[in-house]
Amino acid sequence: MSELGVTDAVGKYLQIYKINRIFIAIIITVILADMLEFYDFGLLSVVIPIWINVWKITGFDVGLLVSLVGVGGVIGAFGFPVLADRIGRRPIFVITVLLVGISTALISAVPHAGIAYVFILRFLQGIGIGATYSIDYTIIQEFAPERRRGFAAGITSALLPLGTSLASLSGYLVIPVFGWRGLFVLGIIPAILSLLGRLLMPESPRWLYSKGKIKESARALAWLLRIRDSTEVNKIEEDLTTEYKRNPPKYLSLIEQLSLLVANKRSFLYIISSGFVIGYVWYFVTPYMPTYLVYNYKISAVAAAGLFTVIALSGMIGRFVMSALVDIIGRKLTIAIFSLLPFIFLIVTSAYFYTWYFLPFILPAYFVLDSIWSTVFVYANDLYPARSRASASGITYTSARVASIVSPAILGFLIGTPPNLYNLIPLFISGSILYLILAIMTFLPFTPETKGKRLTA
């Protein structure tokens, strides 16, 4: 990483502090924001069977509902993180949370069979979701204790599937009373709570330092470390000023900022490849899981929503496991080992459609494909300096969002009307092969291990 950045003087202060109440508040704020994506896809997975039955939407419509979020996500995941590296993490976070919350709530007001209105709002959701998810991992790693970066990001991610579980549980409880529209009204609540939390937070001290805003960086550090003595704050400012003058990060134009992303071709290729793999598989499994359950087991949409609540918890358990391992055995080994599970079980699952064995076989694959995201993003952020860190996270998520257009589109083309799960066997096999490629790329010395290495400015 040394060729990409200079020493970040803020890091030595983050080495000496332990996780405190302020950092926990930051984690909660980020969880609420990122939970919007999982809540959104949980809602979509619950209402798709209803819209198929009531609105008579086609298989093409079903694929487009997810693909349009992917199109918006590509714009949001690339454009907004680049801006976050230039004007700061905080203002972009506020804008994107508002965009997601408002567009989600507005779906509740579309007219009957108004699938065209839903398409527009899904596109806007995608822009906000893509940006929010990319920036939030950067925020967590730039505020986290130096030796707990992977664990902190992993724990944050571990709780995100609660969004899917809450959406499924809400579907089970709310639909019989208020119908599907009530679910989307609830989506504004986590957005409001996250927005309030973010407005109380300062800008990232690492980003401020990289831009030469030393006084603001010192104050942000003091806020994080709970230092109220003005003398101590001044000492931090003097120390950061000395370090900055000794080795100042170069100011980057927009072109230089983007060029920094591809300066190390292997790192750039890896974050694009890993993002595509995790996005390709997740977006043809998770949003459609209740639909698979409805047609595989011949159960109602409400029953499938209740069952998916339990399934989503397996992803949360997986995230806890992987968040613990990334700071113990390393980022690369964690990704490589766990990539083998989807490789095996996606193939096996495709051989057992319309049987009782579908759920037992899809669970181990879901355990990984839902939990590997945090480790991939931790690693992507570790590989790049503060001046382009959010952009690197954004590129990774952009690649995942490109994949989120591709695999649902393939699903919509293959599944047919009415849906036939046997038609999806090629899709499941392709996902399995992609995870094998990711495992091989990660096992090889293609990119460096970043466990225990300090972030750069």
Task: Tell me the average pLDDT across 251-257.
Answer: 75
Residue 1 domain flag: no
Q: Encoding tokens for residue 202?
A: 């300062």
Domain containing 77: what range? 10-443
**pLDDT of amino acid 271:** 94
pLDDT digits (tens, 9 = 90+) for 326-373: 888 989 999 999 899 889 989 999 888 889 888 888 888 888 887 888
User: Where does the pLDDT of residue 431 fall: very low under 50, low under 70, confident under 90, or very high at 90 and above?
Assistant: very high
Q: Is the pLDDT of residue 3 over 50?
A: no
Residue 449 domain flag: no
**pLDDT of amino acid 121:** 92
pLDDT digits (tens, 9 = 90+) for 272-282: 999 999 999 99
Say which amino acid occupies 97: V
CATH number for the domain that contains residue 416: 1.20.1250.20
The CA distance from 305 to 308, in Å, is: 5
CA 22 to chain centre: 22
**pLDDT of amino acid 268:** 93
Residue 457 domain flag: no
* Mean pLDDT across the chain: 84
pLDDT digits (tens, 9 = 90+) for 107-133: 888 988 888 899 999 899 889 888 887
Q: Is the pLDDT of residue 374 over 50?
A: yes
Residue 209 domain flag: yes
Q: Which residues contact 344 (CB under 8 A, 6 or more apart)?
A: 364, 365, 432
Residue 26 domain flag: yes
CB atoms within 10 A of CB 188: 17
**What's the structural domain count of the chain?**
1
Q: What is the full DSSP assignment across 16-55? A: HPPP-HHHHHHHHHHHHHHHHHHHHHHHHHHHHHHHHHHT
pLDDT digits (tens, 9 = 90+) for 126-170: 898 888 877 887 888 888 887 777 777 777 776 776 776 777 788
pLDDT digits (tens, 9 = 90+) for 43-97: 777 888 888 888 988 878 887 887 788 788 888 888 888 888 888 888 888 888 8
Percent of the chain with pLDDT over 70: 96
Helix, strand, or coil (residue 86)? helix
Helix, strand, or coil (residue 68)? helix
Task: Tell me the average pLDDT across 166-193.
Answer: 82
Task: Tell me the average pLDDT across 249-274.
Answer: 84
Q: Is the pLDDT of residue 2 over 50?
A: no
Burial class (CB in 10 A: 0-12, 13-18, 19+), 120: middle
Say which amino acid occupies 94: V
**Is residue 167 a contact partner of residue 46, using CB atoms and an 8 Å limit?**
yes
CA 164 to chain centre: 13
Residue 369 domain flag: yes
Q: Alpha-carbon dihedral of residues 132, 98, 305, 308, nearest 10 degrees?
A: 20
The CA distance from 431 to 426, in Å, is: 9
Residue with the bigger pLDDT between 417 and 373: it is 373
How many helices (H) and strands (E) the chain has is answered by 21, 0
Q: What is the full DSSP assignment across 377-422? A: HHHHHHTS-TTTHHHHHHHHHHHHHHHHHHHHHHHHHHHTTTT-GG
Task: Tell me the average pLDDT across 260-279.
Answer: 91
Phi, psi of 356 (to 5 degrees): -65, -25
pTM: 0.75
Residue 89 domain flag: yes
pLDDT digits (tens, 9 = 90+) for 302-338: 788 778 877 877 777 888 888 888 888 989 999 999 8
Residue 392 domain flag: yes
**pLDDT of amino acid 281:** 94
What ranges in 201-300 are assigned the alpha helix state H?
A: 205-210, 214-225, 230-246, 254-261, 265-285, 289-297
